[in-house]
Amino acid sequence: MPREENKMGVLPIRKLIITMSLPMMISMLVQALYNVVDSIYVARLSEAALTSVTMAFPLQNLMIALGSGTGVGINALLSRSLGEKKYDRSDAAANNGLLLTLINYLVFLLIGLFAAKAFIGTQTQAPELIANGTVYLRIVCCMSLGLFFQMTFERLLQSTGRTLYSMISQTAGAVINIILDPIMIFGLLGCPRFGVAGAAYATVIGQTIAAVIGLTLNVKRNTEIRLSLKSVFSPQAAIIREIYMVGVPSILMISIGSVMTYLMNLILKTFSETAIAVFGVYFKLQSFFFMPVFGLNNGLIPVLAYNYGARKKDRIQEALRFSITLAISIMAAGTFVFEVLPSTLLGFFDASPEMLRIGIPALRVICISFPLAGACIAMGSIFQAFSRSIYSLIISVGRQLFVLIPAAYLLSRLGNVHLVWIAFPIAEAVSLVLSLYFFRKLYRDAVETL
């Protein structure tokens, strides 16, 4: 049976972007909410507990990098193949992607078993922080099967435009996590009191349930791809290579965030453990604005990839204009909130006077860069959609490793923790310059020639 033209090639662009992105933006907001709620409950155990979870974050982010980057590669190849009407390739992208997902999990199972304690130990010598951080990290790594498959199944749904189903999967996992957090952390309703470990157990249970929902929705509702165990365990080198041509730069780009947070923890440790906790709180809070923009980006990538495969130049141009404007607007709202309500935001985490002293200036300085970041994220979608993720990698490396960390380190040498936060606006300005350069180059070479 011939397959009908996908909605990504025919629906009016603004309506398409909204219908594609809104479910993911909502699910990303729920995801941000669960991240914040998780930290709020952990903070009520103690500031040390919050700090230990912050120290585990770089390795958690590395899991997300591997899963999400692989998903980006699957998404771009699958959507482009659908646009080109090459259905055997789109099915192969989905099935080979599931095999890669399983391999990703096995890597982090080993890391959780043998490297968790050593990783936390590189950031602190405090026994309480090492104990709590190691327990948390081992659980989230060794039981990360749900995390990896949740991300892949959601990407498969997004690749064919079924973002509503993707939202259902992600939201269900986050809501379950939010419900289980207080029960497992504090020992409510007859559950043992697990403390920091309870936050980790709640997280992996939510991810596993979300993965099961994602699998069910792909098998029952995602009719444009065909999944089978035989195809999953029959890898095709050419398909895997194409997935990773896009995926590896994305993996590296997100992984650089892990390196950045790890190095920032080391820089801030020279001031106090409270400074590390402030940095962790900032990362949770900023997700309320960054996550919706990433949701917009995830909705935009398959639209651009599909219409690039279908050679529909006008639709690509309109999608880019609308999405960049929307991303900047969302991030400008974030700047406003952080400037006006920093003490209120920190108060959710039972902030001590010392945390308020460090945190209020930190939030107000860092948020200046939010609109610039929104523009960069939206422009970056074209790099992933057109299989030029290397540009995103160059921008990310330049921003975080060649500007942000060196600037933060040099500013820290002045002995004032408040100066360290100025590194963020500096880095984002450099990122914008690089993004504009590569965006114009790719737009001229790829879009204008259609």
Burial 404-424 (b: 16+ CB within 10 A, else e): bbebbbebbeeeebbbbbebb
Task: Map 106-125 to HEC letters.
Answer: HHHHHHHHHCHHHHHHCCCC
How far apart CA 384 and CA 54 sit, in angstroms, is: 29
Whole-structure pTM value: 0.85
Quote the tokens at residue 12: 């009016």
**How many helices (DSSP H) and strands (DSSP E) are in the chain?**
19, 0
DSSP label of 234: S
Domain residue limits, the chain: 7-447
* Tens-digit pLDDT profile for residues 349-397: 999 999 999 999 999 999 999 999 999 999 988 887 887 878 988 998 9
Q: Which amino acid is at 124?
A: T
CA neighbours closer than 13 Å in the CB half-sphere of residue 13: 17
Long-range contacts of 8-13 (CB under 8 A, 24+ apart): 8/79, 8/83, 8/161, 8/302, 8/303, 8/306, 8/307, 9/83, 9/306, 9/307, 9/310, 9/312, 9/315, 13/303, 13/315, 13/318, 13/319, 13/322
Asked if 211 contacts 244 with a C-beta cutoff of 8 angstroms, the reply is no
Q: Which amino acid is at 76?
A: A
pLDDT of res. 1? 45
pLDDT of res. 34? 79
Continuous H helices in 222-341: 229-232, 237-269, 273-309, 313-340
Q: How far is the CA of 337 from the CAs of 155, 333, 340, 345, in angstroms?
A: 31, 6, 5, 9
Residues of the chain with pLDDT under 50: 1-2
Q: Taking Cα atoms as reference points, which of 349, 376, 373, 371 lies closest to residue 360?
A: 349
Q: Which amino acid is at 327?
A: A
Q: How far is the CA of 221 from the CAs of 94, 164, 165, 218, in angstroms?
A: 15, 11, 9, 6
